[in-house]
Each structure stands twice: as C-alpha cells, then as structure tokens.
Amino acid sequence: MTSKQPLSSSAIKTYLPWVVAIALFMEQLDSTIVNTAIPSMALDLHVTPLSLKAVVTSYILSLAVCIPVSGWMADRFGTRRVFGIAVSIFTAASILCGLAQNAPMLVASRIVQGLGAAMMMPVGRLAIIRTFSKSELLVAMNFVIIPALIGPLLGPTIGGLIVHWSWRGIFFVNVPVGLVALWLIHRHMPDYHGAAARPLDVVGLILFGAGVALLSWLLEIFGEHTIDVTSAAVLLLLALALLAGYGWHARRIEHPLLRLALFRVRTFRVAVGGGFITRLGLGGLPFLLPLLYQLGLGFPPWKSGLLMMPAAAAAMTMKLIVSRVLRRFGYRRVLVVNTVCIGLVISLFALIGPGTPIALIVLCGLSLGFFNSLQFSSMNTMAYADIDDANSSMASTIASSMQQMSMSFGLACGSLIAGWYLGRAPQNDQLLVTQALHYAFLTLGAMTIASSLTFWSLRPQDGDNVSRGTPAPENSTIEP
C-alpha cells in the first residue's frame, strides 16, 4: 500500500469521513428518491408506469455488475482518482437523467449512474479503512454509515416534495452535492494504491457479474408477476450455476475477482454473512412501511414520508453512544441482543391500524432507527477487525457486493411475502391490505429474530481491537 499523503495527517482524518459521507448520502438518497417520481416520469414521457420499472432495475443491475471490479480499480489507479471519477460519472449521469427526453435515454443514463455509484461505496470504505487505525475505525465508520441509514428514509419525503415541481429535479439535486464532493476529494482525499498491481480476473467478472445481475433481475420481475414459474425456475438455476461456476473458478487462480478465502476469517464471515441474512428481514421495510401508511392507514404521501423521518433522527442519535455501547458490552452480545430487538420492533408494526395514535407510530419508528443504527455500525466495523491492510481492498469489495445483494434480495423478499399473504385480494381493500401487511411484518420480524443465531459463533473478545483498542489475539479468528 502506498499513499501520496501521510497516513497520520490530521487534515485527512478530519475531512475524509465528510467526503465519503457526502458521496454516500447522494448515492443512497438517489436510490430511493426515484421510486416516488415514477408516475410523473411516465406521464411526461408518455409511457406506462410499469414500463419504467427498468429505470430502477437498470440501476440495480449496474451496481451488481460493477461493484466487484471497484477494488481492482482502486488498487491499480488509486483511491483519489477512482473516487473522483466515480463522483464525476454519477453527477454527469444525473444531469443526463434529468435531461432525458424518452424512456430509453433515461434507462441508459441510469446504467451510467449505477456505474459511478458502484465505485463510490467500496472505494470510500477502503479509504476510511486505510486511513484510520483499528481503534479509530468505529468512530469513523459510524459517522460515514449515517447517510446509508437516513438516505432511504428521507428519499420518499424529499422526492414527494420535488416531484410537485418537476420529476427532473430529483436528478438535478445531485449536481450541487456532487460538485461539493469533488472539491473535497481534490483537497482532502488520500491516494492509496495496492502494494502490487494484480491482473483483472475477466472470467470471474463475467461469471459473478452475470450470475448476480440475472439473480437481481429475476427477483425484481418475479415480484411483479411478469414471468411464469417454470421460466423463473430455469433462470434461477442458471444464475446459481453461474455463481457456483465462479466459486469453482476462484479457487483455481491466484488473483480472483473476489477472494473467497477471506471468509475463513471468522469476524469477517459472521459480519458479512450474518449481515446478509439480517438484511433480508430489514430490506423490505422501506417498501412495506409506506404501503402501510398510505394504503392501510389512508395517509397522503407527504404524511407517510414524514412518518419515516423519526427513524432517521434516532439513527443519528445512536451515533453519539454506539462506541460506548460496544465498548461496554462487546460485539457478540450487542449483535445477538440487538438483532432480536430489531425483530421485535418490526413485529410491533403489525399492531398499527387506522385507529393507532400517531405517537405510537412515531415511537415504533424511533425504536427501529435506534436499533438499526447500532446494528449496521456494529456489522460494518467488525467486518474489518481482523483484516490486514493487504486484504482491505478485497474485503471492502466483498462487503459492498454482499450488502448490495442483500438490499435487493431483502426488498424482493418483503414484496413477495406481502404479495403471498394478499393473494388475489383487491389492492384497494384497505382491511385486506392492512391484514396482509401485518402478517408480512410478523414474518419479517420472526426472520430477523432467527438471524440472531448467526452471531452466536462470535467470541466475547472478537472486535475488541476496534471497540476498545486492545490487540486481537494472533490467529484468533483464522480457521483452516
């Protein structure tokens, strides 16, 4: 690893979290704000709303395919250059999206936008990991993760307000944010390179990228019931075969696209693998909660959006105490207990109906944001507790890929569960829709509680080098 700036520079440590946080906020906000504008886009572009599903899926597929190559690019060309190019591409693509005159142009621009977003998350994390010591990592990552928590929650609210003016504004709002991020990158972004340039695993990129893209696309369209079960099963087997082929390929070459051997590190395996399972229950909430508020309770979109904001406020509050909580109780106890708490809170939304006081709804939202913030901060920092500098780029790429997949799968999972409970009932029947959503919340809550079992394999001292600054025992988390 090399850097054009000293690793211990106080200026870098002061401004780098802001640089990464601003870029990630722009990305996370954009990923959720678009859904609000689909009806307005369809009306203006003279197409049906369903035909604009590609505006969302094209972005997700671009992310899924391009994230795995981001670590190789950062090692080869440097974190400053790649991160700056990523923000530039994202900002320019946002302008193209806002200027789109037809649906194909909009979809093409979204693919380019996804390319920029795919490089931002893992490269930003990599810069944080290589700048801060293990004992400082928790505070830095805790600061950076806040945009990932509040972006999806504020997206529907901000999107609803902007769409009243013009749907094009949801893309143009990225421009000033992107310009500020570029200025900060130029002044304060460290430029880290890999110790040695490794060749790009083109075969692995094709196998993994095609498998993940096909699987993500399949889940998106299956939720819309636009494909028969037989075709879906064939495509599912093909996607799994491509991913299995990548696993076979990765074990046979020296420099694979994603080094699966990192999963032998227990803390990394539990944080990334356990986090994937936990997010399957959490991923559907940004989709299901607005449905509960608008279809179940009859609230207008602006009021539904406002009810999502308490979770964002609670997430920022937790940021102030998460370090002390982890230092006091340790990662194992926090992740086991907190995962159960999240499952219970998700289940509580099954009690919300037309007569529920607003204060109780707000309390549930505050609890959800509070526990979610602690969960994501814990998982995202423990993943790197026992990862050395030589593997930090690869670890960041794998963690980002798994996180993106879990978010897509979680959203599809929540949609499928709610649709299964609703069956063929009319979606304008408030009572039946509310009942189906209540069952979905209970199911997702039970899934989340069950996912706490994945954290039992941690040891009491795991992650202490991050939360308490104590050295990790040698080979304590390496398993053959």
Question: Residue 12: its pLDDT value, please?
Answer: 80
Residues 75 and 183 in one domain: yes
Residues 66 and 169 in one domain: yes
Residues 127 and 151 in one domain: yes
Domain housing 434: 259-480
User: Region 48-73: what's the mean pLDDT?
Assistant: 76
Asked which of 214, 231, 256 is the last residue of a domain, the reply is 256
Going from the C-alpha of 456 to that of each of 45, 91, 108, 219, the distances in angstroms are 52, 42, 44, 30
Asked which of 164, 182, 197 is the last residue of a domain, the reply is 197
Q: Taking 60 as the threshold, does the pLDDT of residue 279 lie above it?
A: yes
Residues 243 and 348 in one domain: no
Asked which of 161, 176, 197 is the last residue of a domain, the reply is 197
Residues 227 and 263 in one domain: no
Query: Regarding predicted confidence, which is higher, 203 or 154?
Result: 203
Give residue 448's pLDDT band: very low, low, confident or very high (50, 70, 90).
Answer: very high
Are 383 and 399 spatial neighbours (Cβ–Cβ below 8 Å)?
yes
User: What's the rounded Cα separation, in Å, for the pair 477 and 469?
Assistant: 17
Question: Residue 254: its pLDDT value, please?
Answer: 85
Residues 263 and 252 in one domain: no
Query: Regarding predicted confidence, which is higher, 111 or 467?
Result: 111
Residues 205 and 324 in one domain: no
User: What's the rounded Cα separation, in Å, for the pair 116 and 93?
Assistant: 8
Residues 287-303: tens digit of each pLDDT: 788 778 877 888 876 67
Length reported for the chain = 480
Question: Residue 475: its pLDDT value, please?
Answer: 43
Residues 110 and 179 in one domain: yes
Q: Taking 90 as the threshold, does the pLDDT of residue 340 lie above it?
A: yes
| Structural domains of the chain, count | 3
Comparing C-alpha atoms, which of 457, 452, 476, 454 is closest to residue 465? 476
Residues 175 and 85 in one domain: yes
Q: Taking 50 as the threshold, does the pLDDT of residue 477 lie above it?
A: no
Residues 292 and 397 in one domain: yes
Mean pLDDT of the chain, nearest integer? 82
User: Region 43-71: what's the mean pLDDT?
Assistant: 76
3 state DSSP class of 459: coil
Are 128 and 222 spatial neighbours (Cβ–Cβ below 8 Å)?
no
Burial of 183 (0-12, 13-18, 19+ CB in 10 A): exposed
Q: For the domain that residue 362 is a member of, what is the CATH number?
A: 1.20.1250.20
What does pTM read for this prediction? 0.79
Q: Go through 445-459 and write b for each residue having 16 or more CB atoms within 10 A of its CB, e for each that does not.
A: bebbbebbebbeebe
User: What's the rounded Cα separation, in Å, for the pair 320 and 211?
Assistant: 40
Six-digit token string for 424: 């063929």
Cα separation of the two ends of the chain: 26
Six-digit token string for 75: 């090692």
Give residue 242's pLDDT band: very low, low, confident or very high (50, 70, 90).
Answer: very high
User: What's the rounded Cα separation, in Å, for the pair 378 and 386?
Assistant: 14
Per mean pLDDT, which of 29-33, 195-199, 308-312 is the most reliable?
Answer: 308-312
Q: How far is CA 377 from the centre of its chain?
A: 13
Per mean pLDDT, which of 18-27, 53-62, 425-434 is the most reliable?
Answer: 18-27
Give residue 389's pLDDT band: very low, low, confident or very high (50, 70, 90).
Answer: confident
Question: Residue 469: its pLDDT value, please?
Answer: 62
Q: Taking 70 as the threshold, does the pLDDT of residue 472 lie above it?
A: no
Residues 190 and 211 in one domain: no
Residues 134 and 214 in one domain: no
